[in-house]
Structure 1
Amino acid sequence: MIDAKKIEQIARQVQDSLPQGIRNLGDDVEKKIRQVLQAQLSRMELVNRDEFDVQTQVLVRTREKLALLEKRLDALEGKQATGSEPQEVSPADVSSETPIVPDVKND
């Protein structure tokens, strides 16, 4: 949700842009604008920047783990086909340039 201070700032800007006669209604107009803004913003189900950044980091770590597991699986499948011992894959073996958007294959 957007910070209450930002909502107040927007409400004041809207109130300041109103003609003088309407501006004199002051508190009533400001309260109504604040209520409408809060209702509309809550319907949009917005997240704050901190929560977005946390989820982005979780996604990056998850993709790195997935890439590591895919490499390990490939190594195990390759060794199983040749009959030799599987080779251990470490996180250092996974490229740091893992794409943010995974390839989507349409079968």
Structure 2
Amino acid sequence: MMDRQDIDQLALRLASLVPPGLAQAHQDLRANFSDVLAQGLRRLDLVTREEFEVQSLLLARTRAKVDELERRVADLEASAAARGN
């Protein structure tokens, strides 16, 4: 997720697009851009990189466990089929 510094840098870039004749409004626009960007990002309900990494690791472990269980079930089915023949 973007931190406050990233938001401020983006707001500064947006404010730099304002024509030079409106230098007085430059600071106001920069603050407004920053607030609007921060509010918009909060509404997106994004997760942090750390939360994403934790969930990725959990998913990988779960996938490995499911693969192992599928292998064991297949072995048991094969064993049962061999005994049935």
When normalised by structure 1's length, the TM-score is 0.66
1:17 has 2:22 as partner: no
- Confirm whether residue 54 of structure 1 aligns to residue 54 of structure 2: yes
Tell me which protein shows more helix as a share of its residues.
2
Structure 2 residue aligned with 1:8 = 8
Cα 1:23/1:72, change in 2 over 3 Å: farther
**2:51 corresponds to 1:36:** no
Change beyond 3 A, Cα 1:32–1:76: same
Q: In structure 2, what is the Cα distance between the partners aligned to 1:45 and 1:21?
A: 38
Q: Does structure 1 retain, via aligned residues, the 8 Å contact 2:16–2:26? A: no
Structure 2: where are the runs of 5+ without partners? Answer: none
Aligned residues with identical type, % of pairs: 36
What is the TM-score of this pair, normalised by structure 2?
0.79
Question: Structure with the greater relative contact order (CA < 8 A, sep ≥ 6): 1 or 2?
Answer: 2
Say whether the 8 Å CA contact 1:15–1:23 is kept in structure 2: no
Which runs of 5 or more structure 1 residues have no equivalent in the other structure? 85-107
Q: CA deviation at 1:21?
A: 2.7
Task: Give the letter for the 1:79 counterpart.
Answer: S
1:59 partner SS: helix
**Separation of aligned partners in 2, 1:23 and 1:43:** 31
Deviation at residue 60 of structure 1 after TM alignment? 1.5
Alpha-carbon contact 1:15-1:30 (below 8 Å) kept = yes
Q: Determine helix, strand or coil for the equivalent of 2:25.
A: coil
Distance 1:55 1:22, change over 3 A: farther
1:7-35 per-position Cα deviation (integer Å, ceiling 9, x unaligned): 01101111112111333224321221111
